[in-house]
């Protein structure tokens, strides 16, 4: 079975953000505030499903609760969730909600490293970094939006969109380092080896290099590097000093990784699929498996594959085009439009969310031949960008907004439906034998493009080195 690496990692860890200090702060013990956090959580996981293994979820929560138990109390219960996403990412949201992606879990090698990431996230919440940190982008802050929700003057979807966007922003440098140092303290108090915090940095630095080199080889732009480890490599020396300065009576009591391996073994590798009972797409739906999207055009429209994909109405008075590119470091769809389409001026703009994708849309003064009306929408799907243009040969009118919206509502990120989930690529643990190499493993497993590099990356051996005899290593089959 061949597996193609997904190189559109949005970020390489922790990217927390929740965006800064509002003009009004709701009291910390407000039951209404806690209820709003829970509402946002439910909205977030509706678009970002949890990994469907109760045992693994329980394990993540158990390790997280160990870290929370030795942290500064915030007066609420921490909650830890594994998200079914191959993106290498984790983040904390106000109210004690901490999200950890499957893609990051696969990269780690020990329970102590898992605890290090969770401890860092707990550190953000314990240190009140959401309240203290300044926004990294324009507009309101998380707390002011939350206040609007609680006073009835805002929309829950607006705040939930922030939860979907937090993976592209980071706290200020000093807050990230403070969270690292909290994580060191919590690791030591919980009985883990504090050096795991530095090991995680090294793993993610190696993974960053892997993603960057593969992207360069394919002429693509890797995902932007944000968050906690954006402050490194320089500051990892500060962390190493922190490990050396911990109290001498720090005792490592948690070093058995059997349960960690059990949780990772059998985990889905790659982007994943829809379950067999997922709603079926209409048979006339256009599906682009390479660029991972689907769209349903009206039955009497004529579609040309392109690129760009173009579908035209029977009377040829309206048409729609879809183009796919990469983010080139843009943090938001609005920023992408500004950076990559400098001549485009949008009117009536708004941020939108479509099938879990974040986007920005508006009306354009068109230069397209034969068109008098144009609408534009840009959506992010990891590092992939979908640019959708609607044209009409009639003079611009509000009716065109409705027509464009109707077409957009059929647009979906595409995941194949699996009738045989047992055949999907999975991570497995094996013990390395004398003379075993990653190249030989790749040939035996038939992993396809960059198979050897993928094996090195998930085992912490990228770009050099071979497994040691007797060492537990991860394969994909």
Question: 286-413: CATH homologous superfamily?
Answer: Mog1/PsbP, alpha/beta/alpha sandwich (3.40.1000.10)
pLDDT at 421: 57
Neighbours of 25 (CB within 10 A): 13
CA distances from 292 to 197, 313, 419 (A): 35, 24, 19
- Domain residue limits, the chain: 31-264, 286-413, 437-476
d(CA 209, CA 12): 11
- Give 325: exposed, middle or buried? Use CB within 10 Å, 0-12, 13-18, 19+: middle
SS3 for 303-355 is EECCCCEEEECCCCCEEEEEEEEECCCCCCHHHHHHHHCCCCCEEEEEEEEEC
Tokens for 224, please give them: 């932007």
d(CA 323, CA 289): 14
pLDDT at 130: 61
223 neighbors 383 (Cβ within 8 angstroms): yes
Q: Which residues of the chain have pLDDT under 70?
A: 1-34, 47, 129-173, 218-250, 272-279, 416-423
361 - beta bridge partners? 350, 377
Contacts of 453 (CB under 8 A, 6+ apart): 5, 210, 213, 214, 462, 463
Which runs of consecutive H residues, i.e. helices, occur in 386-450?
Answer: 398-408, 438-445
- For residue range 273-288, list pLDDT tens digits in order: 655 555 677 878 898 8
pLDDT at 242: 62
d(CA 263, CA 60): 9
Tokens for 199, please give them: 């090991």
- For residue range 64-122, list pLDDT tens digits in order: 999 999 988 777 789 999 988 888 888 888 788 899 989 899 999 999 999 999 998 89
Q: How far is CA 17 from the centre of its chain?
A: 13
pLDDT at 21: 27
Place of tokens 């974040």: 358
pLDDT at 92: 83
86 neighbors 272 (Cβ within 8 angstroms): yes
Place of tokens 């969310």: 353
């Amino acid at each position: 079975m061949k597996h193609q690496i997904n190189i559109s990692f949005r970020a390489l860890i922790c990217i927390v953000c929740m965006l800064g200090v509002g003009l009004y702060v709701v009291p910390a013990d407000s039951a209404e505030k806690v209820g709003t956090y829970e509402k946002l959580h439910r909205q977030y996981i509706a678009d970002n499903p949890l990994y469907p293994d109760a045992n693994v979820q329980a394990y993540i929560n158990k390790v997280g609760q160990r870290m929370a138990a030795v942290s500064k109390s915030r007066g609420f219960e921490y909650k830890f969730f594994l998200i079914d996403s191959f993106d290498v990412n984790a983040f904390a949201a106000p109210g004690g909600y901490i999200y950890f992606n499957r893609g990051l879990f696969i990269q780690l090698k020990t329970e102590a490293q898992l605890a290090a990431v969770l401890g860092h996230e707990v550190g953000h919440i314990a240190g009140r970094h959401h309240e203290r940190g300044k926004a990294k982008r324009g507009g309101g802050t998380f707390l002011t939006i939350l206040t609007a929700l609680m006073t009835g003057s805002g929309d829950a979807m607006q705040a939930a969109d922030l939860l979907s966007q937090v993976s592209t922003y980071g706290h200020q440098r000093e807050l990230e380092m403070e969270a690292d140092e909290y994580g060191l303290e919590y690791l030591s108090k919980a009985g883990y080896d504090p050096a795991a915090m530095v090991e995680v940095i090294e793993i993610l630095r190696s993974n960053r290099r892997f993603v960057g080199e593969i992207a360069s080889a394919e002429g693509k732009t890797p995902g932007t590097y944000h968050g906690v480890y954006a402050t490194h490599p320089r500051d990892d020396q500060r962390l190493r000093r922190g490990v050396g300065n911990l109290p001498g009576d720090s005792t490592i009591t948690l070093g058995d990784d059997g349960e960690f391996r059990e949780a990772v073994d059998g985990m889905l590798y790659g982007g994943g699929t829809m379950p067999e009972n997922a709603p079926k797409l209409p048979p006339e739906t256009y599906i682009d498996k390479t660029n991972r999207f689907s769209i349903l055009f009206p039955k009497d429209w004529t579609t040309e594959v392109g690129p760009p994909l173009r579908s035209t109405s029977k009377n040829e008075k309206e048409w729609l085009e879809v183009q796919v590119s990469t983010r080139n470091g843009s943090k938001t769809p609005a920023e992408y439009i500004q950076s990559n389409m400098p001549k485009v001026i949008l009117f009536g703009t708004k941020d939108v969310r479509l099938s879990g994708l974040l986007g920005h849309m508006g009306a354009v003064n068109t230069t397209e031949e034969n068109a008098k009306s144009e609408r534009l929408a840009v959506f992010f799907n990891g590092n992939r960008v979908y640019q959708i243009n609607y044209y009409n040969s009639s003079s611009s009118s509000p009716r065109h907004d409705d027509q464009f919206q109707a077409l957009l509502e059929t647009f979906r990120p595409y995941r194949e439906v699996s009738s045989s989930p047992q055949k999907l690529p999975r991570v497995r643990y094996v013990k390395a034998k004398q003379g075993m190499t990653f190249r030989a493993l790749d040939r035996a497993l038939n992993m396809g493009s960059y198979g050897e590099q993928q094996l090195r990356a998930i085992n912490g051996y990228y770009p050099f080195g071979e497994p040691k005899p007797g060492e537990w290593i991860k394969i994909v089959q």
